[in-house]
Structure 1
Amino acid sequence: MATHDTTETTDSTTGSTEEAVDWKTKLRYVLNSDFVRSSPYWGIPFLLMGFAVYGGIGYNLAVSFTDYAGIGRPEFTDLNLEMYRTALADESFRQAAFQNFVLLVGFTSISLGLGLFLAVLIDHGIRYRETIQTIYLLPMALSFVVTAQLWLWMYSSGDNGVLNVFVTTLGFESVNWLGNPRLALAAVIFALVWQFSGYAMVVFLAGLQSLPSDQFEAAKVDGASPTKTYLRIIIPQLKQASVGAAVVLMLFALKAFDFLYAISGDYRPPNGTDILATLMVREAFQYGQWAYGAAIATLLLLLSLAVIAPYLVFQYRQGSL
């Protein structure tokens, strides 16, 4: 009996020792992993980004559930959805959301179409391809503020407005491009397309040049014209480039506040061009409605996530994530 007890005690001690050794081995493996050993390099930036970015997003979300008006500190004792109900019932919010949607769709689709057209021309080997590529890519180097000032001068209704000088030379009356609510948003879209169509061109051109050249040769042998080759064979293979460029352009459209602020010189842009970003800043900084502005900012963040999420799903299904 005593021998049996000694055997059980020995087995228990051996098991505990093996568990301790196994635990130490696992700990040593974790401490020697690349993730832990590289943590001094990425840990501090990760914490700073988490505090400055995600901490700010969380605080903004919390403020949007209050009635904070900029005086004192927000009271987080009575959280509610009143500011979101106010936004959905506000005519200014609905109008800004609609104009933001028109800007997003119009700007993105025109930029993609023009960029694809230019990329096909350059890939097809037209003359002066390097010059054309440089001309359309240069506006990307400009900031929103510089672009706004340039087009503010172009759209000027006075004698110095380039477009109106051209219009009056043709015998027509000058046009108030930014003062007319029916033309203001189209004028803004045109200016943004001028700046960002070069980006779409570069993305599509990279996609075209990554395709194997034997496809062109096979289509040529089969008697297909260059137009049919691009429309039926080449362009359908640019799905990934199209989706990536579209996401970037849509995000630019959602955050075009600085362009509209620079072109108007005020928190209220020209009639017909108010978007969610300008409404958010105006409500918070000009009217002091910080909770309402925080609610609009949260809705704008949700719109951005609605743009990015399908792209991430697409990339995951393509095996790129």
Structure 2
Amino acid sequence: MATRDTTEPTNQPAVSTDEVVDWKTKLRYFLNSDFVRSSPYWGIPFVIMGIAVYGGIGYNLVISFTDYNGLEPPTFSSLDLEMYRTALASEAFREAAINNFVLLISFTAISLILGLFLAILLDHGIRYKNKVQTIYLLPMALSFVVTAQLWLWMFNPDSGVLTIIVTTFGFDPVDWLGNPQLALPAVIFALVWQFSGYAMVVYLAGLQSIPDDQFEAAKVDGASTIRTYLRIIVPQLKESSVSAAVVLMVFALKAFTFLYSLVGQYRPPNGTDILATLMVRQAFKFGKWAYGAAIATMLLLLALSVIAPYLAYQYRQGSL
């Protein structure tokens, strides 16, 4: 008598031997790849950077939602946007934000225009080309602290170089850093002096990559030198302009060190307050750590608004 098979049929397909072998081959290939074999070298720095940098950014973001004052541990049970509302309603914050934008736009625009002008002069073959290029590029090698101390001496209303020049022409001494109307323009002027040489080098590299045939063709057509540069040469410097502008804007956002050394951390604001100096003063002087964290988060968003469009542009151009 035949017995009936009571085994229930299964709907899952059987795994073939070829699939198992293929999976093992892929795993073996991955374990022997340069990515895995080099992980002991890049893995530890990657973890440290992740904890110290991105972990710190995340913790700062969480702190900004609390009322942490630096004396007692922060309470994470009730997180809200109170510090952000306080910042947006503060006149000091609005003034610092406006100064930040004025510094960002003015410094970048003036540096680009001056750098382009100097690059055109150098590309046109002026005398002492190498010496001029070195003189204008040298300030960029100086740190913010050194530059600030140099201009602090030059802006001195009693014995500074600018005071001597002004009084020589019969004018009264000017307190450049003590006058709220002149302090921010003085800071922008000093930063332009330091970084316009960078824009000059970037533009000079772009100009030297343009074939000489275009200049010759413009001369044959009767175009003047100014018209040749404005109509033909400068429009081809779009890549150079974008690259230089992004780097200069990043330097403008990092101007805290310069302003800290020039006007001091705890000195009352004199028209040069930006978000970074306001953040440090609120956190370290007044102990408003949560408020300072909120300002730092908004400053980070401002920096991302500068970097992200540039990265997107480079990605569309196929450079990333």
TM-score range, shorter chain: over 0.9
Match for 2:47: what amino acid? L
Q: Which residue is equivalent to 1:9?
A: none
Give the counterpart letter for 1:21 in structure 2: V
Counterpart check, 1:254 vs 2:253: yes
- What are the within-5 Å matches in structure 2 for residues 111-126 of structure 1? 111-126=111-126
1:127-183 deviation per Cα after TM superposition (whole angstroms, max 9, x unaligned): 1111110110111111111111111111111x3111111111101111111111111
Greater shift after overlay, 234-243 or 290-299? 234-243
Structure with more of its chain in helix, by fraction: 1
Equivalent-residue separation in structure 2 for 1:311 and 1:268 (angstroms): 36
The Cα of 1:97 is off from its aligned counterpart by 0.3
Taking the aligned partners of 2:265 and 2:66, their CA distance within structure 1 comes to 27
Q: CA shift at 1:269, angstroms?
A: 6.1
Aligned to 2:33: 33
Runs of 4+ in 1 over 6 A off after TM superposition: none
Alpha carbons 1:179, 1:271 under 8 Å: kept: yes
Give CA deviations for 1:165-208 in whole Å, capped at 9, x if unaligned. 11111011111111111111101100110001011111111111
After superposition, the C-alpha distances for 1:46-93 in whole angstroms (9 at most, x for unaligned) are 111111110110010010010000013222111111100010001100
SS in 1 for 2:16: helix
Q: How does 1:133-152 map to 2 (within 5 A)?
A: 133-152=133-152
Cα distance in 2, alignment partners of residues 32 and 214 from structure 1: 52
Alignment partner of 1:239 is 2:253: no
Cα distance in 1 for residues equivalent to 2:173 and 2:31? 72
Contact in 2 for aligned 1:83/1:291 (Cα 8 Å): yes
Amino acid at match of 2:306: V
Alignment of 1:152-163 (within 5 A): 152-157=152-157, 159-163=158-162
Instruction: Please list, as runs of the form range in 1=range in 2, the aligned pairs for 1:161-240 lying within 5 A after superposition.
Output: 161-240=160-239
Task: Give the Cα separation in 1 of the matches to 2:284 and 2:13.
Answer: 69
Gap runs ≥5 in structure 1? 6-11
Q: Distance in 2 between matches of 1:73 and 1:82?
A: 18
Write out aligned runs for 1:99-118 (5 A): 99-118=99-118
Query: Once structures 1 and 2 are overlaid, which stretch shifts more, 82-91 or 26-35?
Result: 26-35
- 1:3-39, CA deviations, whole angstroms, 9 ceiling, x for partnerless residues? xx9xxxxxx9984322211210111222233322222
Question: Quick check: 1:179–1:270 contact (8 Å CA) kept in 2?
Answer: no
Amino acid in the other structure paired with 2:92: S
Contact 1:97 1:276 in 2 (8 A): yes
**Deviation for aligned residue 1:101:** 0.8
Q: Secondary structure at the match of 1:56?
A: helix
CA distance in 2 between partners of 1:39 and 1:149 (Å): 44
The aligned counterpart of 1:55 is: 55
Q: How many residues align?
A: 312
* Residue correspondence of structure 1 range 127-138 to structure 2 within 5 A: 127-138=127-138
Task: Give the Cα separation in 1 of the matches to 2:154 and 2:69.
Answer: 39
Distance 2:128 2:36 in 1: 53
1:213, 1:62 → 2: CA distance? 57
How far did 1:211 drift?
A: 2.1
Aligned partner of 2:67 in structure 1 is: 67
CA gap of 1:13–1:110, structure 2 versus 1, over 3 A, is closer
- Output the aligned Cα RMSD: 1.9
Q: Distance in 1 between matches of 2:75 and 2:43?
A: 33
> Which 10-residue stretch deviates more, 28-37 or 272-281?
28-37
- Paired amino acid for 1:66: T
> What's the CA shift string for 1:202-230, capped at 9, x where partnerless?
11111111222222222222222221221
Q: Structure 2 length as normaliser, TM-score?
A: 0.93
CA distance in 1, matches of 2:37, 2:219: 55
CA contact (8 A) 2:266 2:281 kept: yes
CA distance in 1, matches of 2:92, 2:181: 17
Q: Structure 1 residues 17, 97: closer, same or farther in 2, change over 3 A?
A: same
User: Are the counterparts in 2 of residues 269 and 278 from structure 1 also a CA contact under 8 Å?
Assistant: no
- Percent identity of paired positions between Structure 1 and Structure 2: 76
Deviation at 1:43, TM superposition (A): 1.6
